[in-house]
Each structure stands twice: as C-alpha cells, then as structure tokens.
C-alpha cells in the first residue's frame, strides 16, 4: 500500500514538472474501464477507451500519454510562432505600403501644384502670344508703306546710277589679245566703224577696261568703255542696230550699262516680251520699269506689272493665237518695223533682225541689216 502511494506521488511530481495538473483515477473510473459497455451497443456518448498494453503499468501508460500531449503542445507552439512571424512580416509590408501610399500622395500633391503652375504659365504665354500677334498685325500694316518707300528709294538710286552711266557702253565677245592697249585698240575699231557712216567726226574713248579676273582659258571677258557724251553712245548703238560690229571676224554685242536693280525689274515682264518678240513687234524699255510698243494701231505703254497683267488678260490670247498660227506679221507689224527703221536712218527696203531677248534685257539695240 505504501509502495503504491509512493509510485503515485512520483507520477504526480513528474506531471507537475511538465506544467500540467494531475488528476488521480477514481474507483468509479477504474470500474468503468474494467466493466465494459452495458447493453448490446454500449454507452452512446462515451469515448472509446484504450486498453492498457500488456506488460505496462498504469504509470507508464500515463507517462506515454503525457509525452504525446507535450509533443502536440510543442508543435502547436511552433505553429503559433510561425503564424506570429508571418503576421509580423505582413505588418512590415503593410507599413511599407502605407509609406508608399503616403509618398504617392505627396507626389500627387506636388504634381498637382506643378500642373497648376504650368496652367498659369500657359495662360501667361497665351496672353503674351496674343499681344505679340496684335503687335505683328499692327506691324504688318506698317510694312507695305515702308516697302514702297524702300522701293522708291532704290528706284531713285538706280535712276541716279543710270544717269551716271549714260556715257558707258558694255561690249561682249571682244577678243583678248596679249599685251594689247585696250583704249587704243577699241578707239581704232570704233573710229573705223564710226567713219563708215558718219564721216570724219572725231571719236574718243575716255576709259576702257575688262570686267572680271583674267587668266581663264577660253573665257573672253566683257569690256566696259566710257565715252565723252551720251550722244556718242547713242550714235554707236544706232549704228550697231543697223549692222553688227565685228572685231577680228568675231561678232560682238554692244549694250547699255543698266543698273542691276532695273535689270531685275525687267524680268517681271518676260512673258509679255516673249509674245512681242514671237510676233515681231518691236518694243522699247521704259525707265525705271515697263515697256512701250504699238499694237493694233495704238501706242501701248506698260508702266507696272499690273499694267502688264491687264494687257495680257485682254490681248494675250490673241497674241498667242498669232504665234501658234505661224502667219507672217500683218501690215501693221511690218509698218512698226518700217517706222523703227526710219527712226534709225535705215531705208524702208532693208530688213532688220531685232535684238535677241538677252540683248534687249541688257538694253542692247544690236542687230543685222540683211
């Protein structure tokens, strides 16, 4: 009896050290475990009871059960610890996401402020652009008068330059002779050319020089000569209109020295000039711009590009038809040629080849009498 009580106390001490409460088995429980179920199906609410293995005492069975309980508790503690770890990691991620959300919120606020500033700047830029547009519109209204004034000044300067060059003559295709005295050489050539029709009148070249740099192979430079008076220049041009001057069996072109700005203005009349030349209608360049001629018995004077456009609108189709028909010029056009011949001292029976388009643009009146 004493030995049994000692073993019970030993089991109770082990159970106490494990942290669990010890409940001793009562006599009723021992009777229930040995008596078995009552009736054919046993107690409906009772859990099945384990049968004590043979060779094991009640204390060993109880110690084995307590060991399994402790193992289950340890596994449960590990699961709890793992769950706590996962919860801690989730909390860290939540904190990080919260920080990211806060940062995004700050960026959104910053971007909103930036957008507001951009909108303000855009409104200011639009206002500045509208003001600049108003200024540009006002300036455009002032530009045409300024352009007209500048054009008037350029024309005035060109006419002054033209007056200064009224004794100048340009000569093209004059052969270049080595070490020739250009003034003496051209003076003799023009003196011979002059005396053929004008007798013993004195002729003198004040200055003469070639245009451009020398030394180019097979490149003949133009010459520019200065005469004493405008009348001498015009007489040479009239002579050259009747028959082309030849130097060393080479035909040369003679033309007025026209300021470049006036020559540029003449290109605006190129379409009308082409029709007049195709119809063998002689015309004369006007200064500072425009041209004059006779057409259908009327003297036509074109003073501007607008005048040219109006004339072509009214008569351009007729002039083009005459060109396409290939007919000989009518009596009126031949009469114009006769008038031109007489004005230059030619006989009515002589036929004159009009100057080329390039010669006329440059102010030349050269041609050949056939």
Instruction: Give residue-wise pLDDT tens across range 346-369.
Output: 333 333 344 454 544 444 443 333
CATH topology of domain 165-257: Alpha-Beta Plaits (3.30.70)
Mean pLDDT of 237-248: 83
Residue 200 is predicted with a pLDDT of 52
Instruction: Give residue-wise pLDDT tens across range 43-56.
Output: 344 444 455 566 67
Residue 144 is predicted with a pLDDT of 82
Using a pLDDT cut of 90, give the percent of the chain over it. Answer: 14
Instruction: Give residue-wise pLDDT tens across range 181-234.
Output: 888 888 888 878 776 554 456 678 889 888 877 666 667 788 899 998 898 888
Residue 42 is predicted with a pLDDT of 43
The CATH code that applies to domain 259-370 is 3.30.250.20
DSSP code string of 223-279: EEEEES-HHHHHHHHHHHHHS--EETTEE-EEEE---HHHHHHHGGGHHHHHHHHHT
| Angle between helices 305-325 and 270-278 in degrees, nearest 10 | 30
Residue 121 has pLDDT above 70, yes or no: yes
> In this structure, is the dihedral angle defined by the CA atoms of residues 3, 9, 15 and 20, taken in order, positive or negative?
positive
Residue 204 is predicted with a pLDDT of 81
Instruction: Give residue-wise pLDDT tens across range 244-274.
Output: 888 888 888 888 888 999 999 999 999 999 9
Cα radius of gyration rounded to whole Å, the chain: 62
Tokens representing 154? 């350029």
Residue 345 is predicted with a pLDDT of 32
Task: Kindly give, in sequence order, each residue whose CB lies less than 8 Å from that of residue 20, ignoring residues fewer than 6 positions away.
Answer: 66, 69
Q: ∠ CA 298-304-306 to the nearest 5 degrees?
A: 90
Main-chain dihedrals φ then ψ at residue 138, nearest 5 degrees: -65, -35
Distances 89 to 3, 92, 97, 99 between C-alpha atoms, Å: 56, 5, 12, 15
Q: Which residues pair with 256 in a beta bridge?
A: 169
């Amino acid at each position: 009896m004493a030995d049994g009580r000692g073993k019970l106390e030993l089991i109770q001490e082990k159970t106490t050290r494990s942290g669990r409460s010890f409940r001793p088995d009562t006599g009723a429980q021992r009777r229930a475990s040995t008596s078995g179920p009552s009736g054919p199906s046993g107690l409906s609410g009772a859990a099945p009871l384990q049968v004590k293995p043979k060779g094991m005492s009640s204390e060993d069975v109880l110690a084995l059960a307590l060991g399994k309980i402790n193992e289950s508790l340890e596994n449960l503690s590990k699961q709890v610890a793992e769950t706590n770890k996962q919860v801690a990691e989730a909390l860290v991620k939540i904190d990080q996401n919260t920080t990211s959300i806060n940062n995004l919120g700050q960026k959104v606020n910053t971007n909103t402020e930036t957008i507001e500033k951009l909108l303000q700047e855009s409104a200011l830029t639009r206002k500045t652009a509208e003001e600049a547009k108003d200024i540009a519109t006002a300036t455009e209204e002032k530009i045409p008068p300024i352009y007209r004034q500048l054009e008037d000044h350029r024309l005035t300067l060109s006419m002054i330059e033209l007056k200064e060059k009224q004794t100048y003559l340009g000569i093209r295709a004059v052969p270049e002779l080595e070490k020739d005295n250009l003034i003496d050489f051209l003076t003799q050539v023009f003196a011979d050319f002059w005396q053929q029709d004008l007798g013993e009148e004195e002729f003198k070249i004040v200055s003469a020089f070639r245009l451009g740099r020398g030394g180019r192979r097979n490149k003949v430079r133009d010459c520019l000569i200065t005469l004493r008076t405008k009348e001498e220049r015009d007489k040479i041009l009239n002579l050259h209109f009747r028959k082309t001057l030849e130097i060393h069996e080479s035909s040369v072109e003679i033309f007025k020295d026209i300021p470049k700005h006036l020559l540029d203005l003449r290109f605006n009349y190129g379409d009308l000039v082409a029709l007049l030349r195709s119809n063998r209608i002689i015309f004369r360049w006007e200064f500072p711009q425009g041209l004059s001629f006779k057409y259908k018995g009327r003297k036509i004077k074109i003073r501007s590009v607008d005048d040219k456009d109006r004339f072509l609108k009214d008569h351009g189709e007729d002039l083009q038809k005459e060109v396409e028909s290939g007919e000989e010029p009518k009596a009126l056009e031949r009469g114009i040629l006769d008038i031109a011949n007489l004005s230059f001292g030619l006989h009515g029976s002589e036929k004159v080849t009009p100057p080329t388009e390039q010669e006329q643009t440059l102010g030349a009146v050269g041609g050949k009498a056939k």
